[in-house]
Structure 1
Amino acid sequence: MVVNIYDSANQMERDLRSTQEFIALKEAYETMKQDAATFKMFRDFQNMQIQLQQKQYQGQQPSEDEIKNAQELAGKVGEVDSIKQLMEKEKAVDQLLSEVNNVITKPIQELYQE
């Protein structure tokens, strides 16, 4: 029997969209997007995180101003209920994906335990 692992992965992608965790995340995202100022703050926060990660990947340290700005924005983001809800729902999806990853990689873990 020939197994096409990509067919299984595509089915998992479709299944993920139907999980309670993903549906709750999508609803929280849509709720957060309804407030333009909150959505802009969220996007700014995401962009800042990406820029800091890129610097780290390149072996550069963020400046003190960048760190200060990141901390301030993180504090503001953490005070917004709709963003807090979104982050909670994102954690639930991350947990689900972590559990699925453990199932998927079980053959590799077992292989190295022999």
Structure 2
Amino acid sequence: MSIYETAQQLAQQIKESDEYRDFIVAKELMKADEGHYKMIRDFQMKQFEIQQAQLFQLDISQGKQQELERLYSLLSLNPAAREYLEAEFRISRMINDVQKIIGEAIIDVLPLGFEDNDQPQILA
């Protein structure tokens, strides 16, 4: 079996997983309600902004962090939104686990200088 066939099988298994199916159902429920959809998107955009700031080692205002926490608290009170966030977390965790397994298996193909977890520094 070729590596591409194996990758196709993995993709199919992911699509058949409970994590994937649960996420698709939760996502469709969110898309069906414009108010919930907007709240989720707003939360995700704020979360992304904070993650980007962290990635580039920028200061994150306490106000932005509190706003994200406030939005998360509001979403957690809504059963459909909470289910969506939980399903999103589960599918993301599964995909990250698969990526980690593959990454560890191919560590030898990293470019020179990266084998020792010696990551380049981001210059700000």
Question: Which range, TM-score by smaller chain?
Answer: 0.7 to 0.9
The equivalent of 1:37 in structure 2 is 35
TM-score, with normalisation over the residues of structure 2?
Answer: 0.69
* Percent identity of paired positions between Structure 1 and Structure 2: 25
Which consecutive residues of structure 2, in runs of 5 or more, have no partner in the other structure?
Answer: 107-124
1:70 aligns with 2:68: yes
Normalized per residue, the structure richer in helix is 1
Matched, 1:50 2:61: no
**Amino acid in the other structure paired with 2:7:** A
Match of 2:58 in 1: 60
Look up the SS of the partner of 1:93 in the other structure. Answer: helix
Residue by residue, what CA displacement relative to the aligned partner does 1:15-49 show, whole Å, maximum 9, x if unpaired?
21122321121011101211101100000111111
1:20 to 15, 18, 42: 18
| Structure showing greater relative contact order (alpha-carbon pairs closer than 8 Å, 6 or more residues apart) | 1
**TM-score using structure 1 length:** 0.74
Helix, strand or coil at the partner of 1:78: helix
Alpha-carbon distance in structure 1 between the residues aligned to 2:104 and 2:49: 34
Range with greater deviation from structure 2 (58-67 or 82-91): 82-91
SS in 2 for 1:17: helix
Give the stretch that moved more between structures: 80-89 or 32-41. 80-89
Number of aligned residue pairs: 107
Q: CA RMSD in A?
A: 2.6
Query: CA offsets per residue over residues 47-93 of structure 1, 9 Å max, x none?
Result: 11110011011111211111121111111111111111112323443
Runs (5+) with no aligned partner, structure 1: 109-114
Q: Distance in 1 between matches of 2:4 and 2:43?
A: 34
Residue 51 to residue 105, structure 1, CA distance change in 2 (3 Å): closer
2: distance between equivalents of 1:59 and 1:100? 27
